[in-house]
Amino acid sequence: MRETLEKYQVWLYLVAIFTGIGVGSYWQTVQAWAFALWPLLGVLLYATFTQVPLLHISQAFKDRRFMSALALGNFIIMPLVVWGLATLFGLEDAVLLGVLLVLLVPCTDWFISFTHLGQGDSARAIAAAPVLLLLQIVLLPLYVTLMMGEQLVGGHLLSELLPAFLGLIVTPLLLAWLTEKGAAQSAVLKRGVEVMGWLPVPLLAAVVFLIAASQVQLIIESQEMLWQIAVIFVLYLLAAALIGKTLHTLFRLPTASGRTLVFSLGTRNSFVVLPLAIALPDIWAAAVVVIVMQSLIELLGMVVYLACVPRLVKQPR
């Protein structure tokens, strides 16, 4: 049942987004939607982080070639691609912030599901998840600072972003780590962690529904911008696939590991950075729309990835 839920999660999220837009257009009770959103976000982040094997981070380094390719791709090459796209399209202010927040952080949850469905190596994906999560927490503030420069200082963004980052990301992560540590010694907690493994997909569907419903007016007002943003996200997915294929060849990775690498470079941690954007003042509100748009494009892109990645990264003859 859980595997079936994860298999069809793409369509569940898409239905949730479009239903949220429809419902939000009809019942414009933004405050009510936003009020329901924050508890769900907190539970979602906590439940998801408990599924990341934080206590077994050393397992990721058993395959050094794979981890080297993964780190190089996610934290050096793809940030350069993001910087190039942002410069090419002349992004500024809230739109630039949204693009940076969502494209600089590799996914640590549904990329595992897509890796499994796309004939990759799920075990390596699971082992890599805590490394990806911890590195992005350390590097995201640095990358945003470097790429936004004066816009970051001029908009007083740093003083607003850091407290939100610590409260909305670091706190649930620490709670999840304590839960996992307790679960290693308590059968009750261990069972609780297993039950929470069912929660991320339905909770994320509920979250994207509420976000779409609460932000529908802003989405409508930003529709001229959305096409440009959509092009950026499509170009990102194409670049991720090609770079993943290239790194697979350069590092001489096994086929399944190469596919895992492609899915990691292509999927982003949109729901993790979404609370950061939502917590910021209204001047940065467009960043929320950008992140929601990226989620939509990525979900559609993953449908294409599932069909194409096994052909792009083939078994040797």
User: Around Cβ 131, how many Cβ atoms within 10 Å?
Assistant: 21
**CA distances from residue 105 to 190, 297, 315 in whole angstroms, order as listed:** 28, 16, 29
Measured N-to-C along each axis, helices 78-88 and 223-250 cross at an angle, to the nearest 10 degrees, of 150
Tokens of 218: 């802003």
pLDDT in tens, 67-77: 999 999 999 99
Dihedral, 274, 128, 5, 16 alpha carbons, nearest 10? 10
The DSSP code for 199 is S
Task: Collect all residues with Cβ–Cβ distance below 8 Å to 37 and sequence separation of at least 6.
Answer: 207, 210, 211, 214, 278
Let me know the angle formed at the C-alpha of 272 by 269 and 274, rounded to the nearest 5 degrees.
Answer: 105
In the chain, what are the domains?
2-312 (1.20.1530.20)
Question: For residue 264, which of 279, 276, 253, 275 has the smallest C-alpha distance?
Answer: 253
Task: Quote the longest CA-to-CA distance of the chain.
Answer: 58
Question: For residue 52, which of 135, 111, 109, 124 has the smallest C-alpha distance?
Answer: 109
In the prediction, which pLDDT does 120 show?
Answer: 93
Q: Please give the residue that has the higher pLDDT: either 209 or 317.
A: 209
Looking up tokens 């794979």, which residue turns up? 66
User: Around Cβ 7, how many Cβ atoms within 10 Å?
Assistant: 12
User: What integer is the mean pLDDT of 250-261?
Assistant: 96
pLDDT band of 104, cuts 50, 70, 90:
very high
User: What integer is the mean pLDDT of 282-311?
Assistant: 90
Question: Is the pTM above the cut of 0.75?
Answer: yes
**By three-state DSSP, how is residue 115 classified?**
helix
In the prediction, which pLDDT does 60 show?
Answer: 67
Percent of the chain with pLDDT over 70: 92
In the prediction, which pLDDT does 34 show?
Answer: 67
Q: Which residues of 222-248 are buried (b: 16+ CB within 10 A; e: fewer)?
A: beebbeebeebbeebbebbbebbbebb
Cβ(248)–Cβ(258) below 8 Å: yes
In the prediction, which pLDDT does 3 show?
Answer: 72
Tokens of 140: 């995201």
